[in-house]
Amino acid sequence: MSPPPAVNVIDESVKRRLFDPPGPLPAFEEREAKETDGVRTTDIQLAMNGEKVPAFLVEPLEGGRHPAVLALHPAPGDRSFFLKEARELARSGVVSLLIDAPWADVQAWGRDLAEPGPGRERIVSTAVELRRVLDFLERRGNVNSSRMGFLGMSLGAMLGGILAGADRRISAFVLMSGLASFTDVAAVNIPVLKGEALERYRDIMAPVDPVNFLGEASPAQLFIQYGRRDVFPAEALERFAGAGSQPKTVTVYDASHFLNEEARSDGVDWLIERLGSGPRVIEVKAPSK
């Protein structure tokens, strides 16, 4: 089975929706804030398309303008998936926004992705909404919009791959366990999808596959990670990595699809190195006697 072509399969309707300005800034509601170890974690809801999307805003307590990261979890998963990493980033002076992606509701997302027409529409609308989320993040008073990053795993990495080619505001992407196409995801998760049905699915979904966008990420920097023991075919992971433009770093770990602590720590360190930091949390120790 030959892989779908890249770039030239992006039709004009997809281009228009992905590359045009994404629409009004999302309204938000602040629900609860907690401060621990110099980090503020705020439970918020973003109002988008008539829905309230839960999110965490994780910020250093220090004033000033900070680098910022948009984090997108895998499936299964939700906004809490990268909380540990977000707190580590905040202690180094980086703001993070962690949202509940549509696949936080695994059953509803699975129904959408099962049919290629609704699946393609869901991918495009999600990418457009993520651009609106970036609007919200970059206009925060404590964010330096010239230093923005992205952290995503699995489906989160795949949508990050689309953003890499569709939005120039992010300068550093950590993409974990991303797959070359949404057909790669469906082929493993929908076993009955075979033969002509699989080929039809591939043809319809091809215009929104990450491989069409990753090659247009430059000048943004890419850090692509995947594991040797992933449940998905190695070819799909390798094609995702190979499609990325330079400058990029690709690291393979002795890990499964959700990787490991080493990979996640590497991702945080890489983002801090590429984005720099704002005022750092300084631990004050009592003088020794």
Taking only the tens place, the pLDDT of each residue in 134-150 is: 999 999 999 999 999 99
Distances, alpha carbon 234 to alpha carbons 56, 177, 178, in Å: 33, 10, 11
pLDDT of residue 11: 65
d(CA 79, CA 83) in angstroms, rounded, equals 8
pLDDT beyond 60 at 220: yes
Tell me the three state secondary structure of residue 164.
helix
Candidate from 3-7, 26-30, 224-228 with smallest mean pLDDT = 3-7
Across the range 88-95, mean pLDDT stands at 97
Tell me what percent of the residues of the chain surpass a pLDDT of 90.
76
Average pLDDT of span 83-110: 94
pLDDT bracket for residue 283 (50, 70, 90): very low
Model pLDDT for residues 256-269, shown as the tens digit of each residue: 999 999 999 999 99
What predicted TM-score, i.e. pTM, was given to this entire model? 0.90
| Most confident of the ranges 1-5, 15-19, 55-59, 188-192 | 55-59
Nearest partner of 69 among 137, 125, 22, judged by Cα: 137
* Per-residue confidence (pLDDT) for residue 17, from 0 to 100: 83
Query: Rounded distance, CA 246 to CA 244, Å?
Result: 7
Amino acid letter, residue 264: R
The residue type found at 245 is: S
Every domain of the chain and the residues it spans: 26-275
- The stretches of the chain forming alpha helices (DSSP H) are 12-19, 83-91, 106-114, 116-138, 155-166, 182-189, 195-205, 234-243, 261-275
- Give the CATH superfamily of 26-275: Alpha/Beta hydrolase fold, catalytic domain (3.40.50.1820)
Per-residue confidence at 281, pLDDT binned at 50, 70, 90?
Answer: very low
